[in-house]
Amino acid sequence: MSESVRVSVVMPSLNVAPYIRQCVESVLGQTLRDIEIICVDAGSTDGTLEILEEYARGDSRISIIRSDRKSYGYQMNLGFDAAKGEYLGILETDDYAEPEMFERLYRAASAEKLDVVKAGFYFYYSREERNEPCPIASDVQASRVFCPLTDFTSPLEQVEFFNIKPSIWSAIYRRDFIREAGIRFHETPGASFQDTSFTFQVWAQAKRVRLMTDCFVHYRQDNEASSVNSPGKVYCVCDEYEEIQRFLDRRPELKGRLEPVMCRLKYDTYMWNYDRLSDELKPAFAQRMAEEYTRDMQDGKCEQALYPWYKWNTLHVIMKTPDEFVRWRAAEKAGVPYEINMFPGESFPHKLKRKLIGGYHCLKDHGVIYTWNNLMEKVRRRAL
């Protein structure tokens, strides 16, 4: 291995034998040669470890750490602690990277002495071999270096930035920044959304960040063992926000500025988590949401200005009548009319604005045909 390691690539693994070769070979084929590859295996039993050992025998840049715990956060901390590179990268072992990924990221980071440089990625479907690009920044957003804590003119802009997809593996991080800031992964069991608290800590403390419009990582969507496909992990996202709260409690100079941002992010995360759960699990999670946000409101952590009108009102419905929220959400999903006063006292201008914003986001996310069909379906239901 070269004496000068530009990027340490940490690769956590657990029973990913069908995908591991494609992943490892994508890193071995990087145009940036001055890298080290740290594979942290958590006790694979399907041949993954043996495949890693085979590659390690053939390339001195690869080292293997055996984790005694099945915890993504623990594995990542082991890898980061062992890393010697100027920058730290991550590649999950059911994904793979474009050959120029780490060279492009490193060149950008080193040229401007960045704490973090982050790119987009592809949603990758291997069964029908399809890649859908997911850029995280526009040309304007990618045109400058900024500090996430201080350089946004609007609180809503800051929320929007903190709310971009975590995708921690589409970035590299200056090793000294991570260590000096004391940033650690939450060492909860399994792969349980530990990217949530890690990302918040990074954005809260990084001073020099740049986003890139390019996409490099192919993020596999059809691995059924992935944590995002595990509805059994009902409250893992709650654990992550408790970890963020502990982080802010330790950093009073950040708490006043970022606690309202955290609560706003939590709303979106909890709603995403709620919608992915089975119907049997939803009432209990809605109750958890109601209890947490009731406490947050009482403690003055929530700022109405950070929420769109409809989200602020939905939040109050959840707090006041979580069971009613569950019935309303189920009816909405089934396309059945359900009368609920989601927007008490809403004026006509507010209602029009809410509808227009909803239509814009639907058009942006799903395209003209889907938006038109969705509108026609709502008109049809109202006519019934």
Residue 249 lies in a domain: no
What pLDDT sits at residue 5? 97
Cα 121-269-369 angle, rounded to 5 deg: 60
Range(s) of the domain holding residue 275: 258-345
- Report the number of distinct structural domains present in the chain: 3
Residue type, 277: L
Q: Token match 């470890």: residue?
A: 49
Closest CA to 258 of 375, 158, 132, 122: 158
- For residues 301 and 296, give the distance between their C-alpha atoms in angstroms, rounded to a whole number: 5
Residue 85 lies in a domain: yes
Q: Which residues of 247-283 are buried (b: 16+ CB within 10 A; e: fewer)?
A: bbeeeeebbeebbbbbbbbbbebbbebbeebeeebbe
- Looking at the fold, whether 302 and 208 belong to one and the same domain comes out as no
Are the CB atoms for 189 and 70 separated by under 8 Å? yes
Closest CA to 66 of 54, 52, 55: 52
**Helix, strand or coil for residue 189?**
coil
**Helix, strand or coil for residue 342?**
coil
Asked whether the whole model's pTM tops 0.75, one would answer: yes
- Looking at the fold, whether 209 and 330 belong to one and the same domain comes out as no
Residue 244 lies in a domain: no
- Looking at the fold, whether 341 and 351 belong to one and the same domain comes out as no
- For residues 332 and 108, give the distance between their C-alpha atoms in angstroms, rounded to a whole number: 45
Mind listing the pLDDT tens digit of every residue in the chain (384 residues)?
Answer: 546 999 999 999 999 999 999 999 999 999 999 999 999 999 999 999 999 999 999 999 999 999 999 999 999 999 999 999 999 999 999 999 999 999 999 999 999 999 999 999 999 998 888 999 999 999 999 999 999 999 998 999 999 999 999 999 999 999 999 999 999 999 999 988 999 999 999 999 999 999 999 999 999 988 655 554 455 688 999 999 999 999 999 999 999 999 999 999 999 999 999 999 999 999 999 999 999 999 999 999 999 999 988 899 899 999 999 999 999 999 988 887 776 655 556 677 877 776 787 677 667 656 788 778 777 766 665 555
Residue 142 lies in a domain: yes
- Looking at the fold, whether 197 and 122 belong to one and the same domain comes out as yes
- Looking at the fold, whether 334 and 371 belong to one and the same domain comes out as no
Residue 8 phi/psi, 5° resolution?
-95, 120
What pLDDT sits at residue 111? 97
- Looking at the fold, whether 165 and 46 belong to one and the same domain comes out as yes
CATH number for the domain harbouring residue 222: 3.90.550.10
Instruction: Answer with the one of 192, 211, 229 that is the final residue of a domain.
Output: 229
Instruction: Answer with the one of 180, 211, 229 that is the final residue of a domain.
Output: 229
Q: Where are the alpha helices (DSSP H) in the chain?
A: 17-28, 48-58, 72-82, 101-111, 155-162, 175-180, 195-205, 236-250, 252-276, 282-298, 309-320, 322-334, 348-366, 368-383
Residue 246 lies in a domain: no
Tokens of 284: 């209990």
Rounded to a whole number, what is the distance in angstroms from the first to the last CA of the chain?
Answer: 70
Q: Alpha carbon of 9 to those of 32, 90, 370: distances in Å?
A: 12, 5, 40
- Looking at the fold, whether 357 and 336 belong to one and the same domain comes out as no
- Looking at the fold, whether 202 and 338 belong to one and the same domain comes out as no
Q: How many CB atoms lie within 10 A of CB 197?
A: 25
- Looking at the fold, whether 301 and 278 belong to one and the same domain comes out as yes
Half-sphere exposure at residue 186, Cβ-oriented, CA atoms within 13 angstroms: 26
- Looking at the fold, whether 370 and 291 belong to one and the same domain comes out as no
Residue 30 lies in a domain: yes
What pLDDT sits at residue 329? 92
Residue 359 lies in a domain: yes
- Looking at the fold, whether 285 and 269 belong to one and the same domain comes out as yes
Closest CA to 89 of 40, 37, 124, 46: 37
What pLDDT sits at residue 225? 58
- Looking at the fold, whether 182 and 274 belong to one and the same domain comes out as no
Residue type, 160: E
Residue 245 lies in a domain: no
Closest CA to 259 of 271, 249, 269, 272: 249
